[in-house]
Amino acid sequence: MSFEHISGFLLNFLEIFALLFICFIGLAVLGIAVLYVMDKTQTKKAILHNYPVVGHFRYLFEHLGEFFRQYFFAMDREELPFNRAERSWVYRAAKDLDNTIAFGSTKDLHPVGTVLFVNCAFPTLGEDATPTARMTIGSYCEHPYTTSSLFNISGMSFGAISEPAVRALSNGAREAGCWINTGEGGLSPYHLEGGADIVFQIGTAKYGVRDAQGNLSDEELREVAAHPQVKMFEIKLSQGAKPGKGGILPGGKVTEEIAQIRGIPINTDSISPNRHTDINTVDDLLNMIERVRRVTGKPVGFKSVIGSTGWLDDMLSSIARRGPQCAPDFITVDSSDGGTGAAPMSLMDNVGLTIKESLPLVIDKLTENGLRERIKVIASGKLITPSEVAWAYCAGADFVTSARGFMFALGCIQALQCNKNTCPTGITTHDRKLQAGLNPEEKSVRVKNYINNMVHEVCVLAHSCGVKEPRQLQRYHARIVTLNGRSISLDELYPEHRHTPDKLAVYQ
């Protein structure tokens, strides 16, 4: 090819490039001009009216600020709801990586409310440690449930979380030997797929066990209970993130499959009543518990965030009149700082008691009424690290469940997009493109690792306190930092607690 041909080709290319560049600049100028006019003529946003075009950067920076604070500016233990140190522990546990640290702790041990565990002079030797005790829930049931699981998966509905997320959780739970709670969205094939023990949650809308009018159906209850994997039923009165508000699933996440499982229209907001319309008193609650237990033959309890406590006293008095056989088989105590996919900020920020206050309160009321052995207690709400789980056992819990801890195990990066259909890790979205990044087979291994490493480190804490397994932990094994900077024993803070024989351990 001659020099003239090459020169001509380059000149033509440069002419085309220059023309395209001029067109691009023209379109950009035109776009800016149109945006300027739109901003200047609108009256909804003062910033955009007074500073057209450039005012948009304010909203961009406000959005990006969430991510810059998380990755660049916040210290390891500053963020809420979970800080980097907490998330890092879960990530490493889920990947089965070394979770030891060097040089010294970055945790400030001086703030009021900090929990300190009381190590003993002669810790439990490895060869003296015992397996976690097996515990039976529902001694009055036709089919009681016996398990030794210490750490279980709390309620996350299929709908609030995606198909691959449910599949990963279900398979991981089976491999680790814990249960998975369905959440209020009903029983999906993906819950059953993994083969794990299942707790079926009955929400205020009765999804999965309702008739055509939305009422609780005995026939549907029997159909669910016929699955041998379904071990218990949990009636959800309220949850920590939104006490007094029902479940909220935006219509964009109500796919055809989810609509069919829940029995609601497709692409329509799924909003549950703020309470069970057929439970108006504690006797109504006890009647429903007895009904579900009679129909299914399986243990039945309820979940609630604790606020006012008079109704608990009324319920325990009613049980005393009716007999222990009518009592709930378990109570799940949720914390006011619990999580959810979508809830009003006014409820999430301000209503209910945290687990640190409510769990000992419930334990003590059961003990005072002679029902501590009859009614098992499950602690739930922001318990994602070994210290938090061990504290719950010190306070008297029989079991611990977590939801957001398992979201981190699945890869959640706390992007705060749960109420949208845009979760970047595929956990809380039904966008197939985003779900493609969540491989159920790989993530189920992380779920299993998280459970196993959690149990291992809770046992390490228990052995340091001188007991042989976590369920032997007592309140005197934990101390709480107070206003004057000194700590007091949890047993001193809640003196009403009485040690029961199966929980009593030798204090060394």
Residues whose CB falls within 8 Å of the CB of residue 18, separated by 6 or more in sequence, listed in order: none
Beta pairing partners, 301:
234
DSSP string, 443-468: HHHHHHHHHHHHHHHHHHHHHHTT-S
* pLDDT above 60 (res 497): no
The encoded tokens of residue 59 equal 């909203």
The encoded tokens of residue 493 equal 């803070």
pLDDT top residue among 197 and 382:
197
Domain range annotation of the chain: 3-73, 117-412+420-493
Dihedral over alpha carbons 233, 230, 427, 414 (to 10 degrees): 50
Residues in the chain: 508
Fold of 117-412+420-493: TIM Barrel (3.20.20)
User: Closest Cα to residue 196, out of 145, 136, 254, 120?
Assistant: 145
CA distance 239 to 155: 10
Average pLDDT score over residue span 429-458: 92
Question: Tens digits of per-residue pLDDT, 223-234?
Answer: 999 999 999 999
Question: Tens digits of per-residue pLDDT, 233-273?
Answer: 999 998 766 676 677 777 777 888 888 888 788 887 777 88
pLDDT top residue among 119 and 1:
119
CA distance 33 to 24: 14
CB 398 within 8 A of CB 374: no
Dihedral (CA of 57, 60, 66, 70) sign: negative
* pLDDT above 60 (res 498): no
pLDDT number for residue 63: 63
CA distance 396 to 490: 11
The encoded tokens of residue 315 equal 């319920």
The 8-class DSSP code of residue 132 comes to P
Whole-model pTM? 0.83
Q: What are phi and psi of 408, to 5 degrees?
A: -65, -40
SS3 content of the chain, % helix, strand, coil (to 5): 45, 10, 45
Residue by residue, what is the 3-state secondary structure of 281-301? CHHHHHHHHHHHHHHHCCCEE
SS3 category, 395: helix
323: region left, alpha or beta (phi > 0 left; psi from -120 to 50 alpha): left
pLDDT top residue among 320 and 80:
320
Strands 135-137 and 487-489: unpaired
C-beta atoms surrounding 203 within 10 Å: 28
CB 335 within 8 A of CB 240: yes
CA distance 419 to 339: 11
pLDDT number for residue 74: 56
pLDDT top residue among 340 and 170:
170
User: Closest Cα to residue 293, out of 145, 417, 479, 476?
Assistant: 145
Angle made by CA atoms 393, 186, 298, in degrees to the nearest 5:
55
User: Which range is least confidently modeled, 335-344, 365-374, 413-422?
Assistant: 335-344
Question: Tens digits of per-residue pLDDT, 292-328?
Answer: 999 999 999 999 999 989 999 999 999 999 999 999 9
- The mean predicted confidence, pLDDT, of the chain is 86
CB 396 within 8 A of CB 377: yes
Dihedral (CA of 198, 204, 205, 210) sign: positive
C-beta atoms surrounding 344 within 10 Å: 14
Strands 487-489 and 478-481: antiparallel
